[in-house]
């Protein structure tokens, strides 16, 4: 009877140790995955920042062309205004995407 009880307690103890080890390893794996995801999202946010800056520069250049028609080089002002509208719409979309990434804490 005592041996049976000892065997059951030992078995339960080993089971609990195995379960705690398994849960701990799973937690470490999830932590590493979360860190990788955060790094990828931070890289995406940095890329969005660069794209937004480039898009703003393109809009400014195009608007500058409209104020100096001698530099248009044969392009119609209507085409430039259409281009500015498209660039502005794209910029607005990028700004919405970038706003979603504001929650990240990147170094």
What is residue 72's predicted lDDT score, i.e. its pLDDT? 65
**CA atoms of 98 and 50, how far apart (whole Å):** 11
**CA atoms of 41 and 65, how far apart (whole Å):** 36
Neighbours of 12 (CB within 10 A): 10
Could you give the angle at the alpha carbon of 65 between the alpha carbons of 99 and 88, nearest 5°? Answer: 20
pTM for the model: 0.65
What is residue 48's predicted lDDT score, i.e. its pLDDT? 93
What are the structure tokens assigned to 42, written together? Answer: 């931070």
pLDDT in tens, 49-99: 999 999 999 999 888 888 877 766 777 778 888 989 999 999 999 999 999
What is residue 55's predicted lDDT score, i.e. its pLDDT? 93
DSSP type of residue 30: H
Domain borders along the chain are: 2-103
pLDDT in tens, 37-50: 889 999 999 999 99
């Amino acid at each position: 009877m005592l041996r049976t009880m000892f065997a059951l307690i030992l078995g339960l103890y080993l089971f609990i140790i195995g379960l705690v080890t398994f849960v701990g390893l799973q937690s470490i794996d999830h932590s590493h995955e979360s860190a990788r995801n955060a790094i990828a999202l931070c890289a995406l946010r940095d890329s969005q920042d660069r794209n937004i800056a480039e898009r703003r520069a393109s809009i400014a250049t195009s608007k500058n062309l409209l104020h100096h028609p001698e530099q248009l080089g044969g392009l119609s002002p209507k085409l430039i205004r259409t281009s500015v509208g498209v660039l502005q719409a794209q910029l607005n979309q990028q700004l919405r995407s970038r706003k979603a990434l504001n929650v990240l804490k990147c170094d």
